[in-house]
């Protein structure tokens, strides 16, 4: 099965797909160079396969590619960023304390 992460801007979300089946999503809103990430969900039938991590990695890669900062209100995304310190820079330094993220220079 092929896994892909697709931006669906008219629906305000990224979708993670197994072949052509949508199995998860991450909602977003972009304003003033910042991507707000309030929610992710993955179909429980595909749980335990790392689909959520693939989704978040794709969302953060898209934000980086577009030169956007992120506001990780979703706890799953915040946890991913904590586990992948190379992505902390996507959260503006002044926003990191609000999300419990260490600044890069600490």
Give the pLDDT of residue 1. Answer: 83
Give the pLDDT of residue 103. Answer: 52
User: What average pLDDT does the structure give for the chain?
Assistant: 94
Separation in Å, CA 80 to CA 3, 6, 87: 19, 19, 9
Residue 90, Cα to own-chain centre: how many angstroms? 10
Residue-wise pLDDT tens digits, 1-16:
899 999 999 999 999 9
Give the pLDDT of residue 45. Answer: 95
- Which residue ranges make up each domain of the chain? 3-99
Structure tokens at 56: 């978040």
Residue-wise pLDDT tens digits, 44-80:
999 999 999 999 999 999 999 999 999 999 999 999 9
- One of 3.30.930.10, 1.10.287.3510, 3.40.630.30, 3.40.605.10 is the CATH number of 3-99, namely 3.40.630.30
**Structure pTM?**
0.93
Nearest to 42 by CA among 30, 27, 32, 60: 27
């Amino acid at each position: 099965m092929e896994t892909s992460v697709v931006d669906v801007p008219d629906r305000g979300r990224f979708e993670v797909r197994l072949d052509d089946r949508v199995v998860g999503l991450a909602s977003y809103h972009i304003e003033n160079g910042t991507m707000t990430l309030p929610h992710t969900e993955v179909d429980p039938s595909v749980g335990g396969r790392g689909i959520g991590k693939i989704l978040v990695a794709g969302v953060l890669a898209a934000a980086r590619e577009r030169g956007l900062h992120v506001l990780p209100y979703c706890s799953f995304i915040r946890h991913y960023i904590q586990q992948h310190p190379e992505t902390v820079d996507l959260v503006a330094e002044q926003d990191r304390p609000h999300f419990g993220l260490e600044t890069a220079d600490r």
